[in-house]
Structures are given as structure tokens and as C-alpha cells.
Structure 1
Amino acid sequence: MSAPSRVAVVGAGPAGIYAADILTQLAPGTQVDLFEKLPAPYGLVRYGVSPDHPRIKRIIESLHVMLEAGRIRLLCNIDIGTDVTIEELRSAYDAVIVATGAITDIPLDIPGIELPGSFGAADFVSWYDGHPDVATTWPLDAESVAVIGAGNVALDVSRMLIKHAHTLLDTDISDNVHSGFAANPIRELHLFARRGPADVRFSPTELRELGHQHDVDIVVDPADLHGDRHIERMTKQFAPTRNVVDTMRGWAAIADSERTASRRVHLHFYQAPVAILGDDQVEGLRMERMTPDGYGHVTASGAFVDHEVQAVYRAIGYAATALPGVPFDHATRTIPHRDGAVVDDNGDHIPGLFTTGWIKRGPVGLIGSTKSDARQTVETLLDHSGRDTTAGAPDIEQLLAARCGHRIDWNGWLRIDAAEQRLGTDRGRHRIKIIERAELTTIGGGRLRHSALADGRQR
């Protein structure tokens, strides 16, 4: 078949950028337009990675190089489904790749989940990462907090909640986030996992980092680390699991008299959430103890324990949301596909429609798997027959000009990037993130004089 001449990619996070870049390599000369709903690119790396993880955020540098090469046209601040429809993109381009990711929380269906003081991890992460579509304040008013989850997101949420605000002053957080953490009265954080220490999905590095926080002690019950057959087998077979369990055993061996920090993190295992307690506000969390069978499985014991907390954060996984005009499996929260080619209810490929990233496979895998996943989708796209999009196709340039005067291109992003770095330089930091959509749009659209970019306004 002939290579596509025009392709639209929806979503400018790592998955979308990788797909766009790979396409320009495998099909040179293809015009690729990269659409993004937010005023800035980079998706979850910018708005989902904790600010105290600069090593992971450096992924932006490689993504920047891909966009800077000029083979991809960046079009930010355009909401597909509102400003432009999927149907219009499919008519105007030979192919459309959907790479919108997963940005909401998997629901937890237990009584009390809707009480004030009950939060999803995704919303909290969006707040402290300066997402332009969330409130600028967060109710950090609890002295005792519970976090439910056994993955790295649960560790991120726990670490950020327990941190002392001054330790964040070398990051890119905005002033409103720093002020929120500075007023945080937290003293105790309880992190709960349904299964045992050999079954958590903590990376050894992230777990150790939790114990390296200023003025924070980690408390683990030695009984939870008892070496049953499953724990012994897993630690012998898998080095990361051994490192995780050894780290916890080191914490468990610390005498209570040696724990003198003003804040504590308690790691709890074999407990599953049953209900959030309280009438008008979170007042506690009821957990059911789980009984391990020595083979990695647990069963409900019928014994319950109540923990007195004033806030509960659920970090049990991210979920994708449907994009208007694209099939969506609400059970798996993914787009149904075959090797990246989107299929309809009958399993037939929808011509010209493809998907990649977490919206395709679920919120699993690291950046490396995102890149290989994008390659699979692009190769599938190139294997499909070409489409004639000329007859009756909308003029995408006229459409964008008529509806999307607020769009931000690559040069607009560079203006935002420069403004954030200038704000940081004025305060002795590398960058301070600009958080308000209106301000980002003004700067990105070139409607603010360059000399005004560093006026220090932070909300």
C-alpha cells in the first residue's frame, strides 16, 4: 500500500509523541498533526509524575527533541470532541491514532466513599502537579490519613502527603501547592495493602525513597513480614521482591525508642477496605483482615479493625475515559482493538482509526513498553490499506482557523516553557509551573509581551 500522507494523533503524552515520531521514521514525508487538549504537551510526565522525581521528568527532554525536529506539528489547547470531532478528523486525515491515556481513578465501591475527605489519587496528583483544569486549593487538614493501594502511585501519594513543605522548594511546584503543603498538619499516615509484602507492586527504589524523607519514621509490624512459604519463595526467585521485603524488615527491626520524627508512616498488610466511616465527614476507615494461604492468595477472615483517620486516599489504579466517536469498553476501560487497529462491536476494523498507550492496553507498563506499544500500532497502521480522504473532506486548516483561535503551537509551548523557567530563575529554582489555563493560553498564544513573562505571578 502507499504510505498515508496525513495522520492525526490525539494526545501529546509519551504514547502520542512516540507514535508520531515512529510514524515519521517509518513513513518519511507523512504529515503528522499532534492534538492535545491541554495548553502544554507531555501528558502524564508533566501532570502525573511527582515533582520530587526530576529523574523521571527528564523524559521530557527526549520528547522535546522529537517535537523540536519539526516533523510533527503540535496543536495544543484543542479539545477533540468539542472543538473538533473524531468524525471530522477521520474525514480530513488518512488515519487517526487515539492516545488519550488514563487520567481518572478506578472507582472503589464501598460505603462512605463519597464522604468529604475521601479522595482519588488521580485528583490529588493533578492538584500537586499543577493541572490547569483542577482547583488551585486542596483540603490538607487531616492529622491522620489513610492511603489504600499497593503500587507506586500509592507510594507517591503517601510520600507527598507526609513531606515537609520546605523539601519541595527545589522542585517545579507552584506557590499555591507549596502553601497547601506548608499548612498540612499531618502526623500519621497509614498505607494499606490487601495482600502481603511479597505481592506489592512497589519498586525497590520508590519504597526506599519513602524512608529517606526528612523527619519521617516508617513503622512496620514484624508479624506482617513473617516468612511463610509464599514470601520465602518470592524473595528467593525475584530480586526486586527480595529488595522490597528486606527494606521492610529493616524498618521493622528499628526499636520504637529510636523513632523520634514528628511524622510517621505505618505500612499495613493483609487488610482490605470495607467502609469509610463518618456522618458528614471522614472519621475512620474500616478494614477487614485477610488470611494468607502461603501460596500468594488471601481470604476474608471476618475480623475487622477500625482506624481513626480524617482523610482517605484511594490509589488502586488509573482509568481511561471514553472519547466521543470512538468505541469504548467500559468493563476494561480501554478502546477495543486488534494490534492497535480500533474495532467496532462486531470486531471489524473501523477504517482509519487506531489507538496506542494506556487507552489501548490499560494503565500498565513503563515508558519503554509505551514506546514498543506505539511501534506496534504504527506498524499496524502502515499494514492497512490506504484511504481516499479527498472527496468531501473538510479543510482542516480552515476548520482550525474558524474554531480554534485559542490553539497553541510548538512556538507557543516554547514561550510557556521560557516563562516557567524565568519564574524559577527569579526564585533560585529551575522552573515554577504556571497553573492557570487562561494564563497558559495567553502566553502560548503570544498575547503577552515577552518582558512580562517573568512578572512572578503565581496563584
Structure 2
Amino acid sequence: MRHIAIIGSGPAGYYTAEAAQKQWGEDVCVDVFDILPVPYGLIRFGVAPDHQSIKGVSRRYEKTALNENVRFVGNVAVGRDITVPELQSLYDAVIFATGAPNDRELGLEGENLANIFGSAAFVGWYNGHPKFADLDPDLSAREAVVIGMGNVALDVARILSKTEAEFEGADIVTHALESLRESRIEKITILGRRGPHQIMMTPKELGELAALERASPRVDIQDLPDQEEDALLEPGLRKSVAHLRSFAAIPEDIHAEKPIEIEFDMFASPVRFVGDGKVQAVEVERTKVESGRAVGTGEFYQVPAGLVVSCIGYRSSPIPDVPFDERAGRFANDAGRILPGMYCVGWARRGPSGTIGTNRPDGYDVVEKIVEDLESGVLGRKGKSGRAGFDALAEERKLDVVTFRDWKKIEEAEEQAAREGAPREKFVDIEAMIRASR
């Protein structure tokens, strides 16, 4: 019997558990650890609440989780409740699938002014992450700025723009919905350092902006390159740029009919935040693209902003006894190998890149590496105590472990508490989750 510990119960974690199960069948025990009492990581707390079809992938993970040789070990913090060396003494392989839950900082003057948030915090706020439930952003200003040219920036702009009726079927938490109901935002500026041909936004997400009830997207036609140049783009990006061209063609009378404007300000690099205690504007330098890079032109201007959300990427959380690459913001690894018996997958391995499905090949690849290391003798031939050893340690330390069966009770309670038209009302407090699980 082989014993595998996976740290993190998001997509990367469950794809890896699935791969281990397919590799060893009944001859493996997989324990999937999570610091929270609830599974699914990015699916629960990162995917936009109005994208329920994407969240549906959790049904695949549940199928894996319900197998007897895969166990969810929630409410256990690795590095606090149990150390990495202890896990290594219990399990044949320890795999880090912790994702990248922390915001990457811009490192600009004024970044600590009030009402400036990173997207991990802001998205966590409207998605009900316990760490960010008390964020309480002030939405009373007329202008907001979203920094970044990826799908997360689009998610934030869309959530800030929607009417309450447009959240029908979404699992946005009530405290966020109530704040958005009182929002006075009339203009959202999406800042991007480069131009239309360098955006990371996908066609589906861009297309959603054109269907918003009270918001209209605006693109300056001067920012668009000659249309003939679009032919050189890969198909997905070409479709995205086509959306930008359609936004540039929206007549002014259509813009005037909608109370919220979403403006794409491209070739614009933020250089500092302006305000007295609270952000009031973003100072920006106009850029040009040379060899794919944004280069400053020396032209500066200010964009009014009473709220700023920075969507420029994420970093993994360091864990004691695990080598960490500070510059890259992920675990130091060689194609998924960290140290003998220690591996990483997903964003913890690659950094924040790719889609949810990109994590699947990562999981299967690292299981192949474990097989190689077992066959070569790197991991040793003798099996370890695994699950039984952890259970004895958990009992000794009185750890309040939440199992997948407990999670199903939490899920049932959330579904029963849902407001009309919503699939669930998430608990945003860990103690409340645990009470529901019991």
C-alpha cells in the first residue's frame, strides 16, 4: 500500500488524487489536506459567482473524493497543526497543490492607501472566503479603477457593474450583494500596460460585457491596430480583439442609455496612487509596445479612482521546510520535484497560469514522477504508516478534522440557507462551517 499526502483540495489537488487512484487503484491511500473545512479551493473562492457552469467541475472532484481510498482532511494547517517533516515520515510522497492564494504587489507609491485591494482579497470578499469576509470595500465613489488585462479584471468589472437581477442563479454572498446594491460607481476604468494584441482576456468573458443591462464597454478606436494585423493572431486572441473592435463601434447614444461605463484604457501603466489616507486617483504613464514590452513615453496623467482593484497576478504561500522561489512566488522545483519525496503541482508548481483544466496534466505528470522515484529507489521500498499514523497524531493533538462527509453536511446547510434564486449561501466563518458539519 502506498500513502500519498496532497496539500490543497482545489483543482490541482483533486486531479492529482484522481491520477494516483488510476495509477495504483486499491493499492493507494490518498489524504487531501486543506487549511479550510471546505474543499475545492479556486472553484469555490476564485471562480466568479455568476459562472456556475465552471464551478460544475467540482462534481468530477466529488466523484474522486467519494472513493474509499481518497480522504478529505479539512481544517488542518500544514506547518501549524502538522509539520512537513512529520508528513514526510508518514507518507511515501507529499505533494503541494496549494495554489497561489496571495496577491502580487505592484510595489508603487501609495499602494497602502485605503480602498486599494488586490484581486485575491476582493474576489475572496464577494466569493465568501473567510479570510476576506470582513474586507468591506467602500463603493460610494463614482469612479473605480481595475488594473490588469486578464479575465480576473473582467470578472471584477462585471461584478461591479451588474444589477441585482443579473445575479439570479449566482452564489455571490449576501454581504457583497448588499454592498453592490448601494454602489454609486458610474465609471470603471480597466488599465492595461500594453495594447489589444497583448491582452490575456478570453472571448467568452469579453463578450459578457456587451450583454450587461446597465453598463456599456468603451474602447478608443485609436488604441486599435490596423485590422489586417489581427490575421497574425492565434484564433482565441483574434476573437477577443474582435470584441474590442465591436466595443469601439458602439454608438454614443447607446453609451448614454446606460448609467455605468467600462472604459478600456490601454497603453497605460500605473506609476503611483494619489490620495490623503484614501485613494483618490491613479497616476499613469502612457506607454508604447516595443518587442512585446511596454515602454514608458514620459507622458503622465491621472485617472480618478475612489476604489482600486489590482488584478496583476498571485503568489503561493511559503511553508516551513519547503524550498521557495521568492522571485517567482512559487515553490522551488524541477518540473514538479522539490526534494526527494516532495512534489508540487498546479500554480504551486508553475505560478498562476493556464486554466482550471491545465492542472490535470500536472497531476498525472507528478504521479508518473512518483512512480519513477519509487522504481529507482529514491523513495525507498518500504511503505509508511500514512493514514493510520496521521489519525493517531491528530487524536493526540486533538485536531478538529473535517471529513468529506462533514463537508456534505456543510454543503446541505448552505443550500438550505440560500436566498431565492441562488444555489447556496456560503458560510463565511470557519466556526460556523464546523458547527454545520457536526
What band does the TM-score fall into relative to the shorter chain?
over 0.9
- The question of 1:369 aligning with 2:353 is answered no
The residue number in structure 2 matching 1:326 is 322
Instruction: Choose from 340, 343, 349 the match for 1:354.
Output: 343
- Asked if 1 retains the 8 angstrom alpha-carbon contact of 2:8 and 2:98, the reply is yes
Q: Residue type matched to 2:223 in 1?
A: D
Q: How high is the sequence identity, in percent, across the aligned residues?
A: 32
1:264 Cα offset (Å): 0.8
Count of residues in correspondence between the two structures: 430
Shift of 1:146: 0.5
Equivalent residue number for residue 104 of structure 1: 102
- Counterpart of 1:177 in structure 2 is 176
One-letter amino acid of the structure 2 residue matched with residue 364 of structure 1: S
TM-score normalized with structure 1 length: 0.90
Offset from partner CA, 1:157-209 (integer Å, 9 cap, x none)? 11112222332242122221211111111110000111111110000110111
Q: Indicate the residue corresponding to 2:334 in structure 1.
A: 338
Question: Do the aligned partners of 1:133 and 1:437 also contact (CA within 8 Å) in 2?
Answer: no
Match of residue 249, structure 1, among 245, 252, 258: 245
The one-letter amino acid paired with 2:20 is L
CA-CA distance at 1:255 after TM superposition:
2.1
Deviations 1:416-449 (A, max 9, x none): 111111222x7343222222111101112x1xxx
Q: Does 1:141 align with 2:140?
A: yes
Gaps of 5+ in 1: 343-349, 447-459
1:414 pairs with 408, 415, 418, which one?
Answer: 408
Q: Counterpart of 2:434?
A: 441
1:258 aligns with 2:254: yes
1:240 aligns with 2:233: no
Q: CA deviation at 1:394?
A: 9.3
Q: Contact (CA 8 Å) 1:144, 1:189: kept in 2 or not?
A: yes
Structure 1 residue aligned with 2:215? 216
Q: Assess if the C-alpha contact under 8 Å between 1:292 and 1:298 holds in 2.
A: yes
- What amino acid is the match of 2:420? R
Q: Partners of 2:254 and 2:132 in 1: how far apart?
A: 41
Distance 1:405 1:69 in 2: 23
Deviations 1:240-264 (A, max 9, x none): 2221222111121122122210111
> What is the match of residue 279 of structure 1?
276
Counterpart position of 1:345: none
Question: Per-residue displacement from partner, 1:259-292 (whole Å, max 9, x unpaired)?
Answer: 2101110111111011111121111111110123
Mapped to 1, the partners of 2:58 and 2:351 lie a distance apart of: 22
Secondary structure of the structure 2 residue equivalent to 1:27:
helix
1:454 maps to what in 2?
Answer: none
For residues 320 and 423 of structure 2, the distance between their equivalents in structure 1, rounded to whole angstroms, comes to 39
Letter of the 1:355 partner, please give it: C
SS at match of 1:109: coil
Letter in 2 for 1:78: V
Query: What is aligned with 1:126?
Result: 124
Q: 2:394 aligns with which of 376, 400, 405?
A: 400
C-alpha separation between the residues in 1 aligned to 2:121 and 2:329? 18
Deviations 1:341-395 (A, max 9, x none): 21xxxxxxx321111110111111112220001111111011112434659x993
* Contact 1:149–1:191 (Cα < 8 Å) also in 2: yes
Q: Secondary structure at the match of 1:313?
A: strand
SS in 2 for 1:115: coil
State the partner residue of 1:20.
Answer: 17
1:430 corresponds in structure 2 to 423
Q: In the alignment, does 2:372 pair up with 1:383? A: yes
Secondary structure of the equivalent of 2:340? strand
Give the whole-Å Cα distance in 2 for the aligned partners of 1:317 and 1:297: 17
Pair 434,143 (structure 1): closer, same or farther in 2 beyond 3 Å: same
CA RMSD of aligned residues (A): 1.9
Pair 1:160-2:159 in alignment: yes
Separation in 1, partners of 2:110, 2:250? 35
- Alignment match of 1:82 (pick from 80, 83, 89): 80
TM-score of the superposed pair, with normalisation by structure 2: 0.94
Query: Are the equivalent residues in 2 in contact too, given 1:339–1:380 (CA < 8 A)?
Result: no
- TM-aligned CA distance change 1:80 to 1:292, over 3 Å: closer
C-alpha separation between the residues in 2 aligned to 1:332 and 1:297?
A: 19
For residues 297-312 of structure 1, the aligned pairs below 5 Å read 297-312=293-308
Q: Which runs of 5+ in 2 are unaligned?
A: none
Tell me if structure 2 keeps the 8 A contact 1:83–1:404: no
**Kept in 1: contact 2:141–2:185 (CA 8 A):** yes
